[in-house]
Amino acid sequence: MANRFIIAGGGTGGHIFPAIAIANAIKHVQPSSQILFIGAKGKMEMEKVPQAGYEINGLDIAGFNRSSLLKNISLPWKLVKSFVQVRSIFASFQPDAVIGVGGYSTFPVLKYAQSKGIPTFIHEANSFAGKSNMMLGKKATKIFVATPGMERFFPAEKILVSGNPVRDIIVRNAIQREEALRFFKLDPDKTTVLAVGGSLGAASINNALMEQLDEFGKNDLQLIWQTGKTNSEVYKNAAAKYNNVWVGEFINQMEYGYAAADMVISRAGAMAVTELCITGKVAILVPYPHAAEDHQTANAMQLVNNSAAILVKDEKAKADLVKEVVAISKEVMKQEEMKAAIRKQALRNAADFIAKEILQSL
């Protein structure tokens, strides 16, 4: 008999791509499974999930706005409305289990499932758990976490250390460096830096790069620069005269980005950190300082404390980021040590592990 799953969450690639990886793993183990995603209307998941071949329903919901309390006036109404929508979706789809991966839709979906006695499973990607997941964890069937030591957030008996699910195309990336560099029309003989700041971009990273693009050429480096959507035209114009810089709003085939890169500049979201561990890259991390509970710094420190990454504080990016990149590019032995250290942090089969644990629990 086919099991029916609802997967709830989204908002960023760090939630969406692990959710899709879990869905794919469930279908691999049990092809007859039926899977429905629930996300937030207007968010990234409403585009990315259908592209991956899954149906998604959107809720009228938003998160708490920390920067403007006035914008939270409608939040209680949206939360009530989302529960009404969830009830309707559940009545139609009748799930056997519900999986939450983080994002606005996770709380109402899992909370409703728990009120109906439906098994719920949580995946917590970060090394500092979010408040919603902590509340939901009390009644969850199992809680999958990326790193050890999460007992301070969740009931110890429910925790399973799984790592973070990563897109299969990145885990099994067979693209050769030379092929990847041809994809970006760059020189295979030069040390290559990949800079990614998320789908919307990271202003501190982008501005630091824009103001010091000359330094890459001076130090025989080349740059693959994913700017994100915000101010992308400004960055494209700044890079237009450099033949050692590829610049674009978004890299849809990130497997080419990782294959081409010798070093990666990145925020420290959970999935970014996980992908860097799996691909074994020299990582220069610039944690987003306003992330909930400063979880990106916690994620980054998991690597820094194991000599597996370099941390540059957001407020220091303008002065220090490119300087750190240039310095590490000249230290070949340190690069190899960092690559070896970061690979030791990788858990490769998270999606398969999660899928099998969920199916065995039903």
What mean pLDDT do residues 81-89 have? 91
Cα separations (Å) of 133 from 104, 136, 137, 144? 11, 5, 6, 11
What mean pLDDT do residues 97-118 have? 95
Whether this prediction's pTM lies above 0.95 is answered by no
Please report the pLDDT score of residue 12 as a whole number.
80
pLDDT tens digits, 155-212? 999 999 999 998 888 888 889 999 999 999 999 999 999 999 876 779 999 999 999 9
What mean pLDDT do residues 102-130 have? 93
Please report the pLDDT score of residue 128 as a whole number.
84
What mean pLDDT do residues 260-277 have? 95
Name residue, tokens 């980021």: 321
Query: In this structure, are residues 130 and 296 in contact, taking their beta carbons and an 8 Å threshold?
Result: no
Q: Is the pLDDT of residue 150 over 50?
A: yes
DSSP assignment of 90-154 equals HHHH--SEEEE-SSTTHHHHHHHHHHTT--EEEEE-SSS--HHHHHHHTT-SEEEESSS-GGGTS
Q: Which of 193-207, 218-232, 317-331 has the lowest mean pLDDT?
A: 193-207
What mean pLDDT do residues 296-301 have? 93
Please report the pLDDT score of residue 247 as a whole number.
97
pLDDT tens digits, 25-74? 999 999 999 999 999 999 889 999 999 999 999 998 765 444 444 454 55
Please report the pLDDT score of residue 78 as a whole number.
65
Name residue, tokens 């439906």: 118
Please report the pLDDT score of residue 62 as a whole number.
62
